[in-house]
Structure 1
Amino acid sequence: MAPRLRRRPATDVAVMSGAQIFMAEDLGVSDTQIELLSGAINIYSLVGALLAGWTSDRLGRRLTIVLTNGFFLVGPLIMTLAGGYTALMAGRFISGIGVGYALVIAPIYAAEIAPASSRGLLSSLPEIFINTGVMLSYVSNFAFSALPAHLAWRLMFAAGVVPTVFLAAGVLTMPESPRWLAMKGRLDEAKAVLDRTSDTLAEAEQRLREIEEVVDAGSNGAGGSNGGGGTWNEVATKAGVRRVLATVLALQFFQQASGIDSVVLYGPRVLAMAGVTSNTLLLGLNVLFGVAKAGSILIAMALADRVGRRPLLLVSTGGMTASLLVLGSVFAAFAGAKDDAAVAAVAVAAVVAFVCTFSVGFGPMAWVYSSEILPLRLRGQGAGLGTAMNRVMSGIVTMTFISLYGAITMAGAFYLYAAVAAASFVFIYTCLPETRGRNLEDMEQLFRTK
């Protein structure tokens, strides 16, 4: 039972792609202010990401989700009622904390609650909700685009409160993570949850024994999961732990540095420069991108436990590289073209290919893989560090995209992202072992972190 929590980070990011058009008209905000407002949520999310590991280890995974929901309720309401740039930034700050919390706790909870046989599928569910959130945000942008500017962008943000209501209802039926319960010595409760979430009672018994062994090893080792000092002591003294943490940080770096959030946030601007001139058509194409992303993640969900994480990551990064090269070449060869339907069509096809190949592998699998390989005693804090890296890179990408293409041209920007995607392919091919079908407790042996 994976949480629907990560739909909210998606709506916070994707709504800006359409709202920025009307905010600029209504409030007169500049390109620089739009750039900062769009990217600042990723920097603010560092606060949530760095607190989430501590919170989830002490209060539990479930209560952390409840806390996250509160941020997601307050942030959009502030933005909806904002009368100027300062209030908008305050709303982005509150939402940003929620984004950081969500990106840490959702993959941890999904990985810890799921049996090994379906962990890839269930751990991919947060990503399907991200893509569903993106799609619904694009739909709401399109639906409200015919309204006056001062109403359009406010209703776009107000619509983001709706998923929060559904999440609040969903949390009531969610059990606590059995691994967190075992860490706290609440073995009877952990066993009850495992009985509900395992394929058989025998499997539940086996999972409980494996969890107990890891908890015992952690409590007798470098400080367990409750002490931050223990975490850093293990990083300093154990090569396997350093390898795991480096892998998590590298995956999160490459996922965002390849430019996905530039396309999610600035898709209408990119296509406008490729020759699409109608605002209505631009927002309609955004809906197409959202549908393509959501559909592609279904492929990842179907294949994650059949073919494994590594093949999906390789196919994804290879496809991303190719589509970014095509998109860059469109701008390099036809930079001066205006109202050329063929050029615009190729650009649209390249963007669709990019978001599809991202969502079929790198989008969900970076989170699935990262949450799988972290040892239980380090999972909360390690996931927080990985999410911090993800948000820093997303912030850098989104806060510099307009300036970047202004400095090196739109073609140069996409060629740069293609180079990063190619480097991520090499990293995955040379450094990442397959984790499909392994229990979370087996990762200790795979990466030799004991």
Structure 2
Amino acid sequence: MDDRKPENNGVSGQSQLPIPAFDPPEKPKRNKFAILCAVLASATTILLGYDVGVMTGAVIYIKEDLKISDVQIEILVGILGIYSLFGSAAAGRTSDWIGRRYTIVFSAGIFFAGAILMGFATNYAFLMVGRFVAGIGVGYALMIAPVYTAEVSPASSRGFLTSFPEVFINMGILLGYVSSYVFSKLPRHLGWRFMLGIGAIPSIFLALIVLAMPESPRWLVMQGRLGEAKQVLDKTSDSKEEAQLRLADIKEAAGIPENCEDDIVQVPQRSHGEGVWKELLLYPTPSVRHVLIAATGIQFFQQSSGIAAVVLYSPRIFEKAGITKNTDKLLATIAVGTTKTLFILVATFLLDKIGRRPLLLSSVAGMIVSLVGLGTGLTVIDHHSDHKLTWAIALCIFTILSFVSFFSIGLGPIAWVYSSEIFPLRLRAQGSSLAVAVNTVTSGVLSMTFISLYKTITIGGTCFLFAGIASVAWVFFYTLLPETQGRTLEEMNKIFGSFFKWRATMIELKKNEAQRNGEITLSGGAVN
């Protein structure tokens, strides 16, 4: 209940003390310029989504045309995740060297070359060379898009904006599914080449539109270009006061005196990236160690819970469920892509309203139930292969769609949001690249072993295995990941470092905030 009175009437400010703690200021409207920057930066991840989606259908025809085995198919599909490791590992240092914006352009250029090579591939070895080049470009894009978006986003809408990379990945997957279906009408030897080669077209447009973006304010400060950083912060903040506070926080993190007002300054040498890996891996503080465990953990569990297998091998899963015609399987995958995309759009509007933890925990819980249902349906079908069970087929289709829905509404976007917002400024680029590397390697290993795995323990057993991993993930998230909603990037250092006792730290922070707000209210009451 709201106890506030319409006017002060000379009453002491003490009566207003509880108000700031329970009645926070009205949330500002979303910053349109920050949204535009986030859209342009995140659009580069559509390249990964397209490759994942189109390869799902292309492998059906590649196998028939090049006469390759299931093991070669596994390697071809999953190797992109391993190759992208090289790109994500290099992207951190590259983005500190040439800037976030030009790193995005660089990633689009590399993917363009990879798509062309895959489109003109004449044999399996040639195709693998194209996968290698494209994988490096994907690694760059996966690392830099969330980092840039986090660095231009105001705290009030950071969850909304930093979920955009996952939105565009899903859009890319859907485009890839549609492309597979459209080009499947062509002759077999041409269809899959068009499917893969057409990915070069969006990379050209992405490289051009990214040049319209401003550079990241945090990178500009790291280079000593304070005047330019201030201009960007003025445009991407919810108010002039917030822009000043953000600039002060970034200057402090970069080692620049707060009272420095010059447009161009000499930044301390330690801010240019030297010694970052030692600080990150060899001699981390308790806060950095907690951040590293949280960031790499959430990226590992995002992939090890089975999403790559469901997305990349959905035609095979649908075939196991009783759908045998190629075009019908491709249409079913389009339904998967559509559902996945719709729910990621819902998630973007919930992240800053509900928070990271509630969405994450409910998402993983739904994934566990869906995987158990899918495993049950597939196991029943396996044991009744002599005749079709309509209810079991319907259960499999429903649980596949519910699995990707729950993934998209929580674990999918939050993994990128969380790992891009919790690293301190000095460690952000390399820390994020390490988290992305864990994601891509896990995805690659899982994709390259899925067929062999389900042949060994059955496809239903594989789903139960994924459900078990997702259960471990839920416990990990519940115990080790604090809520970061509404916190500035520079406040993360205060939240992390107490590991399993982070809740006590959060309570203390809230008490301190309420106390500060109370002092401000008291001052206001005294003036009245």
TM-score (norm 1): 0.96
Matches within 5 A, 1:389-408: 389-408=438-457
Matches within 5 A, 1:37-436: 37-216=76-255, 223-224=270-271, 226-227=273-274, 229-233=275-279, 235=281, 236-335=283-382, 336-337=384-385, 338-436=387-485
- Once the two structures are TM-superposed, the CA of residue 221 in structure 1 deviates from its matched residue by 10
SS in 2 for 1:54: helix
Query: Distance in 2 between the 1:423 and 1:88 partners?
Result: 37
**Out of 40, 52, 58, which is 1:13 matched to?**
52
- One-letter amino acid of the structure 1 residue matched with residue 363 of structure 2: S
Q: Is the 8 Å Cα contact of residues 224 and 230 (structure 1) preserved in structure 2?
A: no
- Once the two structures are TM-superposed, the CA of residue 444 in structure 1 deviates from its matched residue by 1.3
SS in 1 for 2:352: coil
- One-letter amino acid of the structure 1 residue matched with residue 205 of structure 2: F
Identical positions, percent: 50
Partner deviation per Cα, 1:211-263 (whole Å, 9 max, x = no partner): 11111189999944511x34323542411111111111111111111110101
Residue 27 of structure 1 aligns with which residue? 66
| Structure number with bigger Rg | 2
Query: Distance in 2 between the 1:318 and 1:342 partners?
Result: 24
- One-letter amino acid of the structure 2 residue matched with residue 393 of structure 1: T
Change (3 A) 1:109 1:220: closer
Query: Distance in 1 between the 2:412 and 2:356 partners?
Result: 12
Query: Distance in 2 between the 1:101 and 1:203 partners?
Result: 31
Q: Which runs of 5+ in 2 are unaligned?
A: 1-36, 258-265, 499-528
Point out the more displaced range, 202-211 or 65-74: 202-211
Residue 24 of structure 2 aligns with which residue? none
TM-score (norm 2): 0.82
- One-letter amino acid of the structure 2 residue matched with residue 280 of structure 1: T
Change (3 A) 1:445 1:221: farther
**Number of residues of Structure 1 aligned to a counterpart in Structure 2:** 448
Q: Is the 8 Å Cα contact of residues 222 and 231 (structure 1) preserved in structure 2?
A: no
Q: Is the 8 Å Cα contact of residues 16 and 38 (structure 1) preserved in structure 2?
A: yes
- One-letter amino acid of the structure 1 residue matched with residue 136 of structure 2: I
Query: Distance in 2 between the 1:73 and 1:24 partners?
Result: 24
- Once the two structures are TM-superposed, the CA of residue 143 in structure 1 deviates from its matched residue by 1.1
- One-letter amino acid of the structure 2 residue matched with residue 77 of structure 1: I
- Once the two structures are TM-superposed, the CA of residue 113 in structure 1 deviates from its matched residue by 0.8
- One-letter amino acid of the structure 1 residue matched with residue 98 of structure 2: L
Query: Distance in 1 between the 2:367 and 2:406 partners?
Result: 6
**RMSD of the TM alignment (CA)?**
1.7
Change (3 A) 1:16 1:355: same
- Once the two structures are TM-superposed, the CA of residue 400 in structure 1 deviates from its matched residue by 0.2
Query: Distance in 1 between the 2:238 and 2:200 partners?
Result: 35
Q: Is the 8 Å Cα contact of residues 101 and 211 (structure 2) preserved in structure 1?
A: no
Q: Which runs of 5+ in 1 are unaligned?
A: none
Query: Distance in 1 between the 2:135 and 2:280 partners?
Result: 30
Query: Distance in 1 between the 2:269 and 2:102 partners?
Result: 26
- Once the two structures are TM-superposed, the CA of residue 142 in structure 1 deviates from its matched residue by 1.0
Q: Is the 8 Å Cα contact of residues 5 and 102 (structure 1) preserved in structure 2?
A: yes
Query: Distance in 2 between the 1:137 and 1:111 partners?
Result: 27
- One-letter amino acid of the structure 2 residue matched with residue 407 of structure 1: T
Q: Is the 8 Å Cα contact of residues 222 and 230 (structure 1) preserved in structure 2?
A: no
Partner deviation per Cα, 1:9-56 (whole Å, 9 max, x = no partner): 111122111000011111111111110011111111111011000101
